[in-house]
Amino acid sequence: MSSNEGSLYAHFDSGNSFYLSDSADGTSGRLDGTYSVSGGKLTGSFTNPGVGDGAVEATISDNTIHLDFIEYWHSPAKVVAYTGVSN
């Protein structure tokens, strides 16, 4: 996925865990968290070690994912919008 601040890969598993990575194979992890899906929307939370807490909110339309990466360690919270293709 990409944004005006760069790119990342989001990996979601069936056990309601996710992680964000700088690499497609997931070996260059940034952070991990948990998520749930309700009403067609994915929401999740995470802790960025040494930085603070955050959240993700995502929707998928056709094959495109729209993910908001919310950084609560900023005041007010900073939202970085990512868009990418889901596999």
Domain extents in the chain: 2-85
User: What pLDDT sits at residue 7?
Assistant: 92
pLDDT confidence of 66, banded at 50, 70, 90?
Answer: very high
pTM to 2 decimal places? 0.87
Encode pLDDT of 45-61 as tens digits: 999 888 999 999 999 88
pLDDT over 80 (residue 3): yes
pLDDT over 80 (residue 76): yes
pLDDT over 80 (residue 87): no
| Cα 74 from Cα 77, distance rounded (Å) | 5
Average pLDDT over residues 5-32: 90
Element (H, E) at 64: strand 64-71
Average model confidence (pLDDT) for the chain?
92
